[in-house]
Chains A and B, each alone.
Chain A
Amino acid sequence: MKQAKNTQTVSVDDVQQTLYAKRQKIHPRKVSGLFAKLKVTSVLVLLGIFYIFPWLQWDGKQAVLFDLPARQFHIFGLTFWPQDFIYLAFLLIIAGLSLFFFTALAGRLWCGFACPQTVWTEVFLWMERMVEGDRPQRIKLDQSPLNARKFRLKATKHTLWIVFSLFTGFTFIGYFTPIHDLLDRLYPFSLGGWEAFWLFFYGFATYGNAGWMREQVCTYMCPYARFQSAMFDKDTMIIAYDEARGEPRGSRKRGVDYKEKGLGACIDCTMCVQVCPTGIDIRNGLQYQCISCSACIDICNDVMDKMGYAKGLIRYTTEHSLEGKEVHILRPRIFVYGGFLLFLLGLLIYAIGIRNPIQLDVIRDRASLYRETSQGLIENVYVIKAINKDSVPHTFELTASGIEGLKVVLDREIAVDAGSVLDVPISLVVNPNYLTDRATTISFKLTAKDNPELSNEEEARFLGPNYR
């Protein structure tokens, strides 16, 4: 991304100072307006999903549960197994591509409205504001020496933050351990060591990232922030200050004809800087630190309204449109990203659609090659693993083919619960007259008795004596 347009040369002294100076704490001012409302909506929806999902039930079980001990992921009636890793890989590729697509189209929408860092920071800021007040009060408080009031306010804020963080950590582990059970074991506290560890780990990460680190996460930790410029072009939507209209900036009284005074529309009130959560001045041009949160648009529109000027001195626009050139929304980049995205999405839906919920694994008994029964038949012993990934239990019928007269000997029913595996020891017997080779490839077929369309096959080898 382009650097600030009017960057001053940095002297050696400045460099020394920035090396050793502590980071300037940023106190974003409260904003209201269209984009602020959109952001609140986005925060409520996304956090709602995060905090409510683990409590939802589906068929009497937790709807979204990543059951690590059982090595199964349950997502609304679908059960995913380690064998389904490919779907996860697909999903991640699709998520990555959507990021490409939306970035090319609309810039850093993700950063400003959907990124967990933004969403949680917003909530933490809201708590901070509730306790300590808006920007001027917070700056004053931070500058004042420690006294009873400051201690009380800071303690209240951190208590709120910590409680909320622990609740977040609790919700997080609720995705991996049934959350109702977890709640029961919270008081008296009897969580397992690792459960407790991850609860505090995730809670601490939330507290640290949303309370303390904030914009530094975006600047230093986020890989997307670093490479998003690769997806940008001059037709990508960005938040920009209309320099042509705004400059030369300067203060003036309301109602004064600024054009006569030789001024632009910017009254240099610095509100856009005060609301910025990353502490930049949008008037310096497109900057890597800008997370496109649109706070400066909202506040500047307010100011323009008060001054009786037209809105949109800072607005969503494109570089081309700022330069007065034609804007192309449909461009090769969009078609390439969009095409790939649609293709992969289709493929994923198709793959999940044709996913066979029945799986069959056959393991030969390694202890013996074959056995001759008292009736003179040749017997081979196997363990079959019947895997039912379906959401309802099934009873199965097992057949084998490949040699004439091959018979499955089985002493129980193969009834497998929804999302379970059943190991069944079985044996196959055959009349040796039909055996032509020492080893014959045979095929097992597992069919659901209630639905013959649900079936799967697996090959195995049948061993016998050498007759010829």
Chain B
Amino acid sequence: MSKPELKPVPQIQKIIAVLWPSFIIAGMATVGFFTFFDPVQLLHLEVSNEAAYSTGFFIFWLLTLSSSLLTLYFQLPTHYIPPPPIIDQSPDDL
């Protein structure tokens, strides 16, 4: 039995494939990073921790998002399907 063919990837799946994995990884990175670094001690900034965590999350998301976008971009096909080869014919065949 031959393997059934899969449908091509719909647009929504591509959008999700960029936004969603980057979101998850950014969330994990945020938790990991701020577990070890207290933003107040790290930056000596007059910002609340909430603002620091939130900004940190969005910076992480921006990074992971760019990576996901590039992955998607580099997945675009690069080669044209070559036209069928020209077969010699003689005028008698026509």
Contact = CB atoms under 8 A, between A and B. Distances in A.
A177 to B, nearest CB: 8
Interface string A189-222: 0001111011000000000000000001000110
B49 interface: yes
A195 B4 CA distance: 49
B76 interface: no
Contacts of A19: 8, 10
Given A71-B38, A221-B16, A7 B4 contact: yes
Contacts of A221: 16, 20
B70 to A, nearest CB: 20
B66 interface: no
Interface string A1-40: 0011001011000010011000100000000000000000
Interface in B1-52: 3-5, 7-8, 10, 12-13, 16-17, 20, 35-36, 38, 48-51
A7 B7 CA distance: 12
A68 B53 contact: yes
Given A18-B10, A220-B13, A71 B49 contact: yes
Given A192-B48, A220-B16, A10 B7 contact: yes
Contacts of A9: 4-5
Contacts of B13: 220
Contacts of A68: 49-50, 53
A350 interface: no
* B contact patch SS: helix
A69 interface: yes
A82 interface: yes
B54 interface: yes
* A contact patch SS: helix
Contacts of A23: 10, 12
- Pick the most buried of B4, B8, B36, B49: most chain A CB atoms within 10 A of its CB: B4
A220 B10 CA distance: 10
Contacts, number: 49
A434 interface: no
A467 interface: no
Interface size class for chain A? 20 to 34
A194 B53 CA distance: 10
A15 B8 contact: yes
A18 B7 contact: yes
A85 interface: yes
Nearest to B53: A68
Interface in B66-94: none
B12 A194 contact: no
Contacts of A71: 38, 49
B56 to A, nearest CB: 11
A192 B49 CA distance: 12
B5 A10 contact: yes
A82 B12 contact: no
A440 to B, nearest CB: 30
Interface string A68-80: 1101000000000
Contacts of B50: 68-69, 192, 194-195
A23 B10 CA distance: 10
A274 B4 CA distance: 25
B25 to A, nearest CB: 11
A216 B12 contact: yes
A197 B10 CA distance: 31
- Pick the most buried of B10, B12, B49, B51: most chain A CB atoms within 10 A of its CB: B10
A85 B4 CA distance: 46
Given A7-B4, A18-B10, A221-B20, A198 B54 contact: yes
Contacts of B10: 18-19, 23
A233 B54 CA distance: 42
A220 B38 CA distance: 35
Interface string A91-117: 000000000000000000000000000
B26 to A, nearest CB: 13
B8 A4 contact: no
A82 B36 contact: yes
Nearest to A197: B54
Contacts of A216: 12, 16
B4 A3 contact: yes
A67 B38 CA distance: 13
Ordered nearest first, which 3 A-B pairs have the shortest CB separation?
A7-B4, A69-B49, A194-B50
24 contacts: A3-B3, A3-B4, A4-B4, A9-B4, A9-B5, A15-B8, A18-B7, A18-B10, A19-B8, A19-B10, A23-B10, A23-B12, A69-B48, A69-B49, A69-B50, A71-B49, A194-B48, A194-B54, A198-B54, A216-B12, A216-B16, A220-B17, A221-B16, A221-B20
Interface of A: 3-4, 7, 9-10, 15, 18-19, 23, 68-69, 71, 82, 85, 192-195, 197-198, 216, 220-221
Given A15-B7, A71-B38, 4 more contacts: A18-B7, A23-B10, A197-B54, A220-B12
